[in-house]
A and B are shown apart, each in its own frame.
Chain A
Amino acid sequence: MNSGDSKESKVEARGHFERYNRYGYYFLLPFFIIFLIFSLYPILYTIYLSFTDLAGWNTQSNFVGLKNYKSILQNQLFLKSIKNTVILWILNFIPQMGVALLLAAWFTNMKLKLRGTQFFKVVFYLPNVITAASVAVLFSALFSYPMGPINMLLIKLGVIDSAYNFFQNNWATVFIVAFIQFWMWYGQTMIVLQSGILSISESLFESARVDGATDGQIFRHITIPLLKPILLYTLVTSLIGGLQVFDIPFLLTKGGPNNSVLTITMYIYQQAFSGNRNFYLAATASVILLLISIVLSVLMFSVFKDRTKVGRAK
């Protein structure tokens, strides 16, 4: 970010006030001390625990080498939790991106002269601010059986004859969780994409329009290509966010029915904080989650470089 500092400012700093530069370290000290204690050490400790057999309320543990990794990669429940997490993410991300892109394109289209876009933005973002725990319990009540509002509404409209127990059906539960995630995040994605589109020079759109391009053509040939860095950025942040999903499925059905919405983070939580308190398995699952996140972060970092280049170029 600071590589853009001009030559002059560097020379200037090197001159009169250079001796103040060590304050850069002092001012960063609190950040890095707290980071070392509360983030880095716990991460390293988690990695260490993944090579031990720590469980229950024990404080002592034995080194077991790669045993935990061998067993977790054959653990059906863990593999299922990865699969569930990916399915939930895909089912939420595709409609989220689609709707967000459409809205962002419409709201920035000068020709359409839409009114109330500020109002819509505020309303669409609203679910994102509300406590996920509350949202989960609210939806479990709305979809509850047999007296939930959704059931009563569907019966009244004649869609179904008798109340349907949504949370007894694997796919119904998966779709409800994916829908809630979509509902909480599409407004956020829309705002990010919209600010991306607004950073594209309006003259590009105008000259395309003068050349007789339709809205669809402009969208496909100008908006989407120039938005690529931000689209990738959204994809990766959403994917990493998707790996962390916990609150909604945990409070909606505790992962059921048949563990159909048991996510990776829920697996870690369950192993460590219920039943036998298998910290060793939870730690191993955490390390695998860490590896996935690192791969995605590296990807993110390269995407990010592109993004700043785009920002500079405009």
Chain B
Amino acid sequence: MAHALRTKRTLIYVFCGILTLLSILPFWILLCNATRSVEQIRQGLSLIPSDSLVHNWHVLMNQGFNVWQGMGNSFFIAACSTILSVYFSAMGAYAFTAYNFKGKKILFGMMIGLIMIPPQISMIGFYQFMMRLNLLNNYIPLILPAIAAPNTVFFLVEYMETVYQPDYADAARLEGASEITIFHKIMLPIMKPGLATMGIFAFVASWNNFLMPLILINDQAKYTLPMLVQLLTANIYRTEFGAMYLGIGLTVIPLIIIYLLLSRYIIGGVTAGGLKE
């Protein structure tokens, strides 16, 4: 019996080891090839970095792959939408948790229904509408909609139910605090862990968003990082492999670092929310 158990355990470790390689190897090859010369890449696969990083960097920059600008643009959009999404979702979640008002159940039910409606469905009307408002090539359509994030509200309602106590609000009211002050001074702080989790997800989702910027933004100076990646499929990179790998690498490395730093919150968030972004 004990022997069978040990065998089983070994097999599981082998299986998990293979999956681990599968997760890491593509990124490792990417990083190695980003430092290798075109010649070296042509000669064969290697898992050891080489010395052509600077050369690849120059090739990439000469192609107008403006990675800093792309990062700046992506960061600006992601940061703004994260702040809006987290703040207003917290407000909505507080409304659902703390107040009893007519139609609350219907509104909440509506919101749950919205979680599953993908944005692609309204893409055509959205584009035409933004064109009429003269908001193409503008970041507003990429940022403002973040205020209505049903899945974030939903997660925060579930979170609020575990930490909310009516007494806090009532005590503050007796001292004359206004409702918005109670929200800012008492409720936001007690929601902090939940807000952090949802903030990370909102940021990553906005940072990785490709389709919406693709249809709305034409001006290359306004390209987000995922849109810049698109430029790496151009013909020049069929010969300049190293530069192409470096270009992808530059978009991937920041995410890997942030993920490794915040993995505990991210995994915790997936566990608690169980929602696909």
Contacts and interface: CB of A to CB of B under 8 A. Distances in A.
Q: Do the two shown chains form a genuine complex with each other?
A: yes
B276 A238 contact: yes
Contacts of B227: 133
A290 B121 contact: yes
Nearest to A20: B179
Contacts of A39: 114, 117, 119, 122, 145, 148
Sorting the interface of chain B by its residue count into under 10, 10 to 19, 20 to 34 or 35 or more gives 35 or more
B19 A130 contact: no
B51 interface: no
Give the interface SS of chain B, mostly helix, strand, loop or mixed: helix
Contacts of A142: 26, 29
Contact of B19 (A44, A114, A124, A282): A124
B113 A241 contact: no
Q: For the complex, would chain A's binding face be called helix, strand, loop or mixed by DSSP majority?
A: helix
A71 to B, nearest CB: 17
A91 to B, nearest CB: 17
Contact of A125 (B42, B45, B266): B266
Q: How large is the interface on A (under 10, 10 to 19, 20 to 34, 35 or more residues)?
A: 35 or more
Contacts of A246: 120, 210-211
Contacts, number: 304
Contacts of A169: none
Nearest to B270: A191
Contact of B44 (A10, A156, A269, A272): A156
Interface centre among A16, A132, A156, A238 (most CB of B within 10 A): A132
Contacts of A84: none
A132 B114 contact: no
B189 interface: no
B255 interface: yes
A284 to B, nearest CB: 9
A1 B157 contact: yes
Interface centre among B116, B255, B271, B272 (most CB of A within 10 A): B116
B92 interface: yes
B274 A21 contact: no
Contacts of A125: 263, 266-267, 270
A49 B267 contact: no
26 contacts: A1-B96, A22-B99, A24-B95, A24-B101, A30-B91, A30-B92, A34-B144, A41-B125, A43-B117, A46-B123, A106-B12, A129-B255, A131-B252, A133-B229, A138-B30, A139-B26, A192-B270, A247-B226, A251-B233, A272-B127, A273-B215, A282-B124, A286-B122, A287-B121, A290-B121, A301-B113
Given A3-B105, A42-B129, 4 more contacts: A123-B24, A125-B270, A246-B211, A269-B123
Interface of A: 1-3, 5, 9-10, 12-14, 16-17, 20-28, 30-32, 34-35, 38-39, 41-49, 54, 59, 99, 103, 106, 111-114, 116, 118, 120-127, 129-134, 137-142, 147, 149, 152-153, 156, 183, 187-188, 191-192, 194-196, 230, 233, 236-238, 240-241, 243-244, 246-247, 251, 265, 268-269, 272-273, 279, 282-283, 286-287, 289-290, 293-294, 296-297, 300-301, 304
